């Protein structure tokens, strides 16, 4: 039995972006509000995009920031700052170590 090829560490981000591209291409005139959201997503820094997709695929909608640890994301703090600025996540308190909430 052949060993399956190893997944890229960015497989989840690549797959999400394929979906985004397909939806953007196929539904240009249908889902204006959603396409505006996808446009904001596409302008995020790659690390912010990766963190957002990681959070999106987790079970809960609230996370302790100090539990976020992804080797492929260069700076969780900078990515989180960008997600907060874009209103993709909100912080439960100003204390970074406490909570962020996924804003979907």
Band (pLDDT 50/70/90 cuts) for residue 61 is confident
> 63 pairs with which residues across the strands?
100
pTM of the model: 0.82
Kindly state the tokens that stand for 60: 């809960």
Across the range 22-43, mean pLDDT stands at 86
Cα separation, 63 vs 99, whole angstroms: 5
- Report how far Cα 96 is from the mean position of its chain's Cα atoms: 18
**Which structural domains are found in the chain, ordered by start?**
30-102 (1.10.10.10)
> 102 pairs with which residues across the strands?
89
Largest interatomic CA distance in the chain: 52
Q: What is the DSSP letter of 19?
A: H
The percent of residues above 90 in pLDDT, for the chain, comes to 42
């Amino acid at each position: 039995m052949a060993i399956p090829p190893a997944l890229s560490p960015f497989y989840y981000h690549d797959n999400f972006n394929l979906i985004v591209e397909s939806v953007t291409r196929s539904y240009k005139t249908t889902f204006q509000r959603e396409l505006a959201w996808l446009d904001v997503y596409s302008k995020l820094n790659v690390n912010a995009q990766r963190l957002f997709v990681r959070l999106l695929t987790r079970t809960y909608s609230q996370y302790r920031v100090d539990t976020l640890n992804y080797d492929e994301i260069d700076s969780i703090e900078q990515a989180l700052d960008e997600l907060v600025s874009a209103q993709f996540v909100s912080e439960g308190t100003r204390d970074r170590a406490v909570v962020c909430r996924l804003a979907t």
